[in-house]
Structure 1
Amino acid sequence: MIRHMQADEGFEMLLLLNEEEEARLRKRPIPSPLPILAVRNTVLFPGVIIPVTVGREKSMQLIRQYEKQGAIIGVVAQKEENIEEPGSNDLFEIGTAAQILKKVNLPNGQVTIVLQGLGRFRVLEYVQDTPYFMAEVAPLPESEVNTHSDEAKALKENLLDAAQRVIQLHPELSEDAYATLSNIESFHFLVNFLSVQLQISLSEKQRLLEEDDIIHRGMALLEQLLKNIQLLELKNEIQKKVHSDLDKQQRDYYLRQQIKVLQHELGYEHEGALVEEFKEKAAQMKWSKEMAQHFDKEVNKLLRLAPGMPEYGIQVNYLELLLDLPWGRLSQDKIDLQYAKKILDQDHYGLEKVKERILEFLAVMKLKSSLQGPILCLYGPPGVGKTSLGKSIAKALGREYVRMSLGGLHDEAEIRGHRKTYIGAMPGKIIQLLRRAGTSNPVFVLDEIDKIGSDFRGDPASALLEVLDPEQNNAFVDNFLEVPFDLSKVLFIATANTLDTLHPALRDRMEIIELTGYTIDEKLEIAKQYLVPKQREANGLSGKQVRVQENALLTLIEEYTRESGVRQLERQVGSLMRKVAKAVAMEEEYPKLIKSKDVYQLLGKPPYHKELSEENLPHGVAIGLAWTPVGGDILYIESLLTRGKGKLTLSGRLGEVMKESASTAFTLLKSQAETLNIDYRLFEEYDLHIHVPEGAIPKDGPSAGITIFTSLASLYLKKPVRSNLAMTAEITLRGRVLPVGGIKEKLLAAQRAGIEEVILCEANQKDVEEIKSPLIKKLKITYVRTAQEVLKHALQL
């Protein structure tokens, strides 16, 4: 950029010099040694007149010595502008000799001198540093070139054109400045003058001064002028754009003020303030251009609605929802597997296979840096810690935790939301809970997913398919929200008690992780480590006031609870602590160390009795093992013959599968009557009655097959089943023994009942090997493949 050309008094005088006079001025001899004036941010070129303000003591000393008009001094720029007292090493080697034209004393004590450049020189050696610089110098005559050549003329025209463009782009320069430039005859002076006026860095100007060839200096100057033009054009373009934006803002402000006046007249001041608040919040949101356009459209729609209209409230709720949702707001994952393992072990005792699978899941998350994978479904009986596992995963990852209970949910709108056309419309619970979580990647527990219902209002299980499908949920559309929301970063964990009622397509999208019931020793450890301290604190007691002995906890587990989990056990421990708390508050006597006998006194008669196997079983009775939702149990199968015509009677609230198992066992026994030496007339002249005690409890499943068969063989052969023996397996008409499930719970039930030996199908051996409870090792387990092997072990045939 060029400074204002009328700023210097000597400028017009300089323009009157012709080309010969300018050349004579450059060729004036330069004395050596030469006093050197160090300047901060100025580079003087030959022939150019500039004013220099002097204030440093060393410079003042020089001016006092050489203040006469026409005195010649050297002007050298210092390398760093921020150096207050430069030394000789801080100055450039090449400077310009100058004659002093005028000296002006300023009121602040400083001095301004007007200098005219003569010729360039190189500093050979500084011979004096104080009171001012003196140096031996060598003149640097500029190379002789033909400034009337076509190349010089073309370069001069380009320099003038570039200077004219700079003048046009610079708002502070008048058009007369170009006419002044056009009157400069000397090519040397034009290049040097533009070099001084050009707004570039000091080092760039010094580089121009050090160029010996005037043509090369002119080319470098033209390059810098063109860069300045580009910067000025960009600056003007930005200023125009900003000015246009300001005009638009002023227009919008005027219109908003008009709207406020109208709203004041109509009594709608609050509504206008609400719209302004929405717009201010939207300006801070980091959402896509499409989303911003959609929000602006919805805000404008609100302005067209009267506050008294029902749709007005829905529209306000909709805009608040858009602003409150965590669009792209993610919490930082802290996937530290050692820390996650520590959290899982702290919060849950046992469940080794489940913890291992969760750690595998987190490890894959860490390596892939994404959640692409199956949705985990924790499946198991109540009270085993399915929901709390989800909370522990959230804690281990450092994520927010939200839980949605799906039990009894029968309206599809609870998942997808209602359309805004309905009065009282709301978003679905998925979007509501994400709004509450405040992040787009919480741990989201879908509790009791197996208990979803369906009726005329839709099928919510099918609506969950889009939510849980990794290929679709990156653009989940809630009916109320109407725009896609990314659910792909959410870590969904489902829980279920049974898989029978689970939607097949929903089950296909999830990886089922089974949580079996706790063993007695696991329950005991959970009670000691978690439940007793928790309930003691919850009831305002301390460890000094009450402790619970291990045998008392065993009594609670075996006689006061009947479950696979520990929920009922926690209630019973809480009941114990409340009894103690009441005694403490009323200053009554109470046992500070609760033993087994104290449990009976505090809680009363136990609701359950410990099922023990009988020592000597009569003919026709065999012990089976059954699985129930609250754990395993032993099951007595009784059969009896009475005079009749071969009729078969079943009792004990047996299900269809169990009835079929009884018919299969009876048919198999009749087919092997001759082999077993059974009189065939017994089948024709006697009625058979098979009964399973505790008739109020429904029973079903194929696992009682070999037990029924053994009971019938014992009856017809009049041989008792070996004492302390139980069995479980399915049986076929051909006498094959098939595997069944729930082996862990059944074996624990056998151990509790005092059973010493269990007969299982050979295919169940792998299930037994996975059980790590030391209690199971006390049992003798016999594996069989056929019904004959069962009778051989049970009846010792």
Structure 2
Amino acid sequence: MSEIEARVTLPVLPLNNGVVFPHMVVTVRMETTEGKLALEAARSNGGQLLLVPRVDGRYASVGTVAQIQDTDDEGNVVVEGVSRARVGTGSTDDNGALWVEADPVTEVDVINDSALEELVAEYRAVVSEVLNMRGVGRIAESVLSVDNPSQLADLAVYSPDLSLEQKVEVLETLDIRARLGRLLEWMREVLADLNLRKKVREDAAERIDKSQREYILRQQMESIRRELGDDDDVAGEYRTKLEEADMPEKVAEAVAREIDRLERMSEQSPEHSWVRTWLDTIFEVPWSSRTEDNLDLDAAWTVLEADHTGLKDVKERIVEHLAVRKLRKERGLEGEEDRRAGAILLLVGPPGVGKTSLGESVARALGRKFVRVALGGLRDEAEIRGHRRTYVGARPGRIVRSLIEAGSMNPVFLLDEMDKVGNDWRGDPSSALLEVLDPAQNNTFRDNYLETDLDLSDVLFIATANVVETIPAPLLDRTEVIRIDGYTDA
């Protein structure tokens, strides 16, 4: 309960950064002009003044009557809060000090109020739990030993969990039951927030396994490196490359997964270098790089004529092949549903008749890059499909390496000496070539090293051979044979 005493007129000291409650002893530094004027006015008023919080330019409706206890020459004033007081009308004196009429409010002890006692007990329990969770249980014992309910509630001014606005609201609430009720509601919210944070920390601690702890330590090591000026963020560099690279969506997802693995992996792990080598290789693949085709048939004939003497029938057949490609492109017949209509040229003839150079001429005529893969004596299927990453020294197959060398996804690809491909216990390379040369399948060619689909549908494959008898029938069936018997007389 509270009682209102006789009205008094007191000088006002505005408080911009805090609240002073009754029974508090604080030191206030008088730095502003209005503070110095209030101090001089208080000295002429028996050392009493009214401390009023000011929030966002608005004065509180209730202030604290305070008594000056001590001062020094540097402007420090020790004041003790006496009681609350309702703030009334005010005016300034001749010196410029603000005086207001105030109605002091004195707290009266409440006896035999069971509802208030229950409220106090619950408030003590909640505040005690909050202080214990903050690790200041010893302070809780001394703070909560206060018997007076009003003084107990006013101790909330020391809580870091309450804002300045909330503390002003506590000051303005004169009824002790309402004051404790508001504080209890706020402290429950604080306790719920602390419990939630504790639960999150415990759950996170339970989920942290060895790899996660290593990840945290690596992050700390990265911070230490940055502080020392040794900023070597490998994973960050790869992520920057990934953002800049125009990769297919599934390939980008696979790369992102490997970068995450690399970031969690210790540099001492053997896999660390394997993953970095894989990432370096996959970034070298020209995923989005293509050259524009030049389908001018007259220009193609001119190039073939300039590079080779004679071979008229062969040149005509090559130009016919290019004419078909041009017509299909003009009619929009290069979609997914028409892949099977493609053809692979196979140039067959004795050594030295110009099979390889014809392939180079086709590339020059089309304006495409040219790469050559020698298949003579090839016996290991991994040379075509690549090695699994689990093997030491693994690398992609010749198809992928040639695309990297060409720097384009649509080069002219010459498969030289296809009739001399062998097979043994290491596998059958001709079986791997079946997928490479099949227009219905090579849009999803999968290299064992990259482990991602590679689209070879834009590559123009040209194969060469001396004889067709040693070429496996399924492989021969995927090609269109052009025989070169030799040069004719001019």
Question: Do residues 169 (structure 1) and 133 (structure 2) align?
Answer: yes
Q: Displacement of 1:116 after TM fit?
A: 0.5
Q: Is the 8 A contact 1:48 1:116 kept in 2?
A: yes
Question: Do residues 31 (structure 1) and 3 (structure 2) align?
Answer: no
Secondary structure of 1:448's match?
strand
- 1:111 is aligned, of 76, 84, 88, to 76
Q: Tell me the distance in 2 between the aligned counterparts of 1:120 and 1:179.
A: 30
Q: How does 1:599-610 map to 2 (within 5 A)?
A: none
Q: Displacement of 1:55 after TM fit?
A: 1.8
Secondary structure of 1:66's match?
helix
Aligned to 1:518: none
Aligned to 1:152: 116
What code does the residue aligned with 1:52 have? V
Q: How does 1:730-769 map to 2 (within 5 A)?
A: none
**1:95-117 deviations in Å (ceiling 9; x for gaps):** 413212422326xx231322305
Question: Do residues 493 (structure 1) and 458 (structure 2) align?
Answer: yes
Q: Tell me the distance in 2 between the aligned counterparts of 1:317 and 1:196.
A: 56
Q: Tell me the distance in 1 between the aligned counterparts of 2:286 and 2:85.
A: 65
Q: Tell me the distance in 1 between the aligned counterparts of 2:474 and 2:181.
A: 80
Q: Displacement of 1:193 after TM fit?
A: 1.7
Q: Displacement of 1:39 after TM fit?
A: 1.7
Q: Is the 8 A contact 1:378 1:494 kept in 2?
A: no
Q: Using a 3 Å threshold, how does the CA distance of structure 1 residues 235 and 64 change in structure 2: closer, same or farther?
A: farther
Q: Tell me the distance in 2 between the aligned counterparts of 1:318 and 1:384.
A: 35
Q: Percent identity between the aligned chains?
A: 15
Q: Displacement of 1:321 after TM fit?
A: 0.8
Secondary structure of 1:63's match?
helix
Secondary structure of 2:55's match?
coil
Q: Is the 8 A contact 2:28 2:78 kept in 1?
A: yes
Q: How does 1:544-693 map to 2 (within 5 A)?
A: none
TM-score normalised by structure 2 residue count: 0.57
Aligned to 1:418: 387
Question: Do residues 478 (structure 1) and 448 (structure 2) align?
Answer: yes
Which structure carries more relative contact order (alpha carbon 8 Å, separation 6+)? 2
Q: Is the 8 A contact 1:128 1:135 kept in 2?
A: yes
Q: Using a 3 Å threshold, how does the CA distance of structure 1 residues 44 and 412 change in structure 2: closer, same or farther?
A: same
Unmatched 5+ stretches in structure 1: 1-22, 81-89, 257-276, 303-314, 335-339, 362-370, 392-402, 509-627, 630-652, 656-693, 698-797
Q: Tell me the distance in 2 between the aligned counterparts of 1:372 and 1:110.
A: 90
Q: Is the 8 A contact 2:342 2:439 kept in 1?
A: no
Q: Using a 3 Å threshold, how does the CA distance of structure 1 residues 378 and 203 change in structure 2: closer, same or farther?
A: farther
Q: Displacement of 1:43 after TM fit?
A: 2.0
Q: Look at both structures and tell me which one has the larger radius of gyration over its CA atoms.
A: 1
- 2:31 is aligned, of 55, 64, 69, to 55
Aligned to 1:92: 59
RMSD of Structure 2 on Structure 1 (CA): 6.1
Secondary structure of 2:20's match?
coil
Q: Is the 8 A contact 1:43 1:202 kept in 2?
A: yes
Question: Do residues 321 (structure 1) and 267 (structure 2) align?
Answer: no
Q: Displacement of 1:194 after TM fit?
A: 1.7
Question: Do residues 445 (structure 1) and 410 (structure 2) align?
Answer: yes
Q: Is the 8 A contact 1:405 1:448 kept in 2?
A: yes
Secondary structure of 2:126's match?
helix
Question: Do residues 209 (structure 1) and 208 (structure 2) align?
Answer: no
Unmatched 5+ stretches in structure 2: 222-229, 240-255, 298-325, 346-358
What code does the residue aligned with 1:99 have? A
Q: Tell me the distance in 2 between the aligned counterparts of 1:226 and 1:372.
A: 67
Q: Is the 8 A contact 2:92 2:98 kept in 1?
A: yes
Q: Is the 8 A contact 2:409 2:456 kept in 1?
A: yes
Q: Is the 8 A contact 2:7 2:104 kept in 1?
A: no
Aligned to 1:183: 145
Q: Tell me the distance in 1 between the aligned counterparts of 2:45 and 2:122.
A: 37
Secondary structure of 1:493's match?
coil
What code does the residue aligned with 2:433 have? A
Q: Using a 3 Å threshold, how does the CA distance of structure 1 residues 59 and 377 change in structure 2: closer, same or farther?
A: farther
Q: Tell me the distance in 1 between the aligned counterparts of 2:155 and 2:125.
A: 15
**1:32-84 deviations in Å (ceiling 9; x for gaps):** 4x42212222023345444333322321221122147964323233335xxxx
Q: How does 1:508-547 map to 2 (within 5 A)?
A: none
Q: Using a 3 Å threshold, how does the CA distance of structure 1 residues 118 and 219 change in structure 2: closer, same or farther?
A: same
Q: Is the 8 A contact 1:27 1:119 kept in 2?
A: no
Q: Using a 3 Å threshold, how does the CA distance of structure 1 residues 36 and 130 change in structure 2: closer, same or farther?
A: farther
TM-score normalised by structure 1 residue count: 0.38
Q: Tell me the distance in 2 between the aligned counterparts of 1:330 and 1:202.
A: 61
**1:391-421 deviations in Å (ceiling 9; x for gaps):** 8xxxxxxxxxxx8655748653234323568
Q: Is the 8 A contact 1:104 1:112 kept in 2?
A: yes
Q: Using a 3 Å threshold, how does the CA distance of structure 1 residues 161 and 406 change in structure 2: closer, same or farther?
A: farther
Q: Tell me the distance in 2 between the aligned counterparts of 1:147 and 1:386.
A: 107
Q: Using a 3 Å threshold, how does the CA distance of structure 1 residues 497 and 39 change in structure 2: closer, same or farther?
A: same
What code does the residue aligned with 1:104 have? T
What code does the residue aligned with 2:155 have? F
- 1:74 is aligned, of 16, 39, 50, to 50
- Structure 1, 424-433 or 109-118: larger mean CA deviation: 424-433
